[in-house]
Structure 1
């Protein structure tokens, strides 16, 4: 009976069958492909929200972890957590239909732009943090303080929110203005404004990140050679200095992996936007790009779990409910 209905009325192909003349059509994929996309997106959604929430709880609760570098990781975890929450809207749109209001569509895109921009900005701050720690270690504690980091993070989020709210001003004033049918979620940005935004939120930060990490890499390699050549002849004080440098180098390597994974996952989506190929992509390819973009937010806490023993210890304390004990915020987790 259902097959006959599709053939005669085509209702199963419409987002809103009762609005036959004005409803958008669904994206028709094989059932197996739809189930695969649904399972992948749902898994990423669950892992992203849970893992990043655990990281947020860890850094926020344990005082020992509230260092300048970890405060930047906290900002990144917040943005990743929000990306995970927004993935619920992507799951709803698996069939290509938007079932919520036009205003919610615009708000969804605005939040997406803000969070992505804040993530990129945080990556720049992380790169700058590692640059100062490795290239100017003697002045790191004076140049990079928790108070300054909090200020930089707040400015980063504020500017992201301000810029993209202004960028989407027309869409917010008239939601659904550019929709061609009911069930579509489309926003349009002025070409010049979009180009400026692309430079400020991707090309510019990408250039800065690559430059800073190239400098960090060169200095790190030089310091590693020096440490290897003098490791047998250092005194007690010198060995302490070497140990500090090793910890900084390890942090630089870990955060370098975070930045590299971020670029690998995010670049395809921005490349599609830059080349204007978004309208030429098939549904499956578009879904892959979206999954890869979102998957980065899930990978970050996994990287921390692999490289940071303190995160694994925090997970044990959380799961064993020791975090609920009085004075648990003062526990030594390093």
Structure 2
């Protein structure tokens, strides 16, 4: 790429990283603090897991993607380790989405057994399993499936002539056959196909129940359908943002380096990273509980900002309302929400 193109790419990556950091931190705060007892619901636990993965994309994956483009010179083993971090975070997103789809399917198809199965302890165990599997699958190149021979020869030749290590790039250590056959087909496409089948069954079941149910039950089913649509949208956006980059890897493997221009490849990288910044916007627009939690957090932030700027009337009104609430609770009364 030309110099101005590289500057534009770097600026966009910085903006995406900031958006991932702020947006997903807000999601975690909204679920953990703003929504009461939300972490008792498996879906929101898996949403937190997905938000943490997206948050780490902004903190780690995006900076590494910029650095692992020949800007740093490190040993081959360290270059490989840093490259695998990006794969781990991608896999964590895929498995969190898979866990969400399985949870919604079980909730709909075995409602009587669901509460007994989806306990808080088992939910967090499932989150732990998702992240453990992500580490195993993402760090697979460390166990041998890598561009070891070419990188080692380059490192040996460079180290013999000077003390500077060769530039570290993602594809210099990560094998294209690994990215296509293992990562894309096995770790991304297979879960996406399973999730597509699950959501197809979920929507068919919901549509049938809505036709047969009474008006009182339809409200609950409509809320379930709205949430399923929102989560399916997150899945569609993930596929739409990540599959183009994987298809480029397929072209590079089967047709050689000239099949994909450098600018096109960087566009695919930007699109994949942008997915982590888009998810918090989807939650805010589509999930009512998170909308309410966002509103509460922003209100608290604005009130505290006013207090910090010396708005004594606001601070006194807040203290007064808190004192009245405590007095009411102490006298056995109930405060209105």
Bin for the TM-score computed over the shorter chain: 0.7 to 0.9
Residues 1:194 and 1:308: Cα distance change in structure 2 (over 3 Å): closer
For residues 105-184 of structure 1, the aligned pairs below 5 Å read: 105-170=79-144, 177=152, 182-184=166-168
1:104: how far off? 4.2
Taking the aligned partners of 2:50 and 2:78, their CA distance within structure 1 comes to 25
Which residue of structure 1 aligns with residue 37 of structure 2?
64
1:303: how far off? 0.2
What does the per-residue CA deviation read over 1:53-96, in whole Å, with 9 as the maximum and x for residues that have no partner?
A: 11112222344221110001001001111111221233346xx4
2:74 and 2:167 in contact (8 A); partners too: no
Secondary structure of 2:167 counterpart: coil
Taking the aligned partners of 1:317 and 1:42, their CA distance within structure 2 comes to 28
| Match 2:70 to one of 94, 97, 117 | 97
TM-score (norm 2): 0.75
Residues 1:210 and 1:77: Cα distance change in structure 2 (over 3 Å): same
Secondary structure of 2:71 counterpart: coil
What does the per-residue CA deviation read over 1:306-329, in whole Å, with 9 as the maximum and x for residues that have no partner?
A: 012332332333344469999xxx
Taking the aligned partners of 1:167 and 1:194, their CA distance within structure 2 comes to 13
Taking the aligned partners of 2:298 and 2:207, their CA distance within structure 1 comes to 39
Taking the aligned partners of 2:267 and 2:279, their CA distance within structure 1 comes to 19
Which residue of structure 1 aligns with residue 162 of structure 2?
none
1:163: how far off? 3.1
1:58 and 1:314 in contact (8 A); partners too: yes
Query: 5+ unaligned residues in a row in structure 2: which ranges?
Result: 159-165, 305-317, 323-336
Taking the aligned partners of 2:273 and 2:240, their CA distance within structure 1 comes to 12
Which residue of structure 2 aligns with residue 224 of structure 1?
210
1:119: how far off? 1.1
1:42 and 1:91 in contact (8 A); partners too: no
| Match 1:314 to one of 293, 316, 325 | 293
Which residue of structure 1 aligns with residue 9 of structure 2?
37
Which residue of structure 1 aligns with residue 234 of structure 2?
258
What does the per-residue CA deviation read over 1:235-274, in whole Å, with 9 as the maximum and x for residues that have no partner?
A: xxxx2x4332222111111101111111111111222234
Taking the aligned partners of 1:45 and 1:193, their CA distance within structure 2 comes to 24
Name the one with the larger helix percent: 2
1:265 and 1:293 in contact (8 A); partners too: yes
Residues 1:142 and 1:284: Cα distance change in structure 2 (over 3 Å): same
What does the per-residue CA deviation read over 1:209-232, in whole Å, with 9 as the maximum and x for residues that have no partner?
A: 1111111121122223234xx42x
RMSD of aligned alpha carbons? 3.2
1:168 and 1:189 in contact (8 A); partners too: no
| In the alignment, structure 1 residue 47 sits paired with structure 2 residue 19 | yes
Deviates more, 1:193-202 or 1:97-106: 193-202
2:147 and 2:173 in contact (8 A); partners too: no
Which residue of structure 2 aligns with residue 329 of structure 1?
none
| Match 1:215 to one of 197, 201, 217 | 201
Taking the aligned partners of 2:128 and 2:275, their CA distance within structure 1 comes to 22
Taking the aligned partners of 1:194 and 1:260, their CA distance within structure 2 comes to 20
Count of matched residue pairs: 288
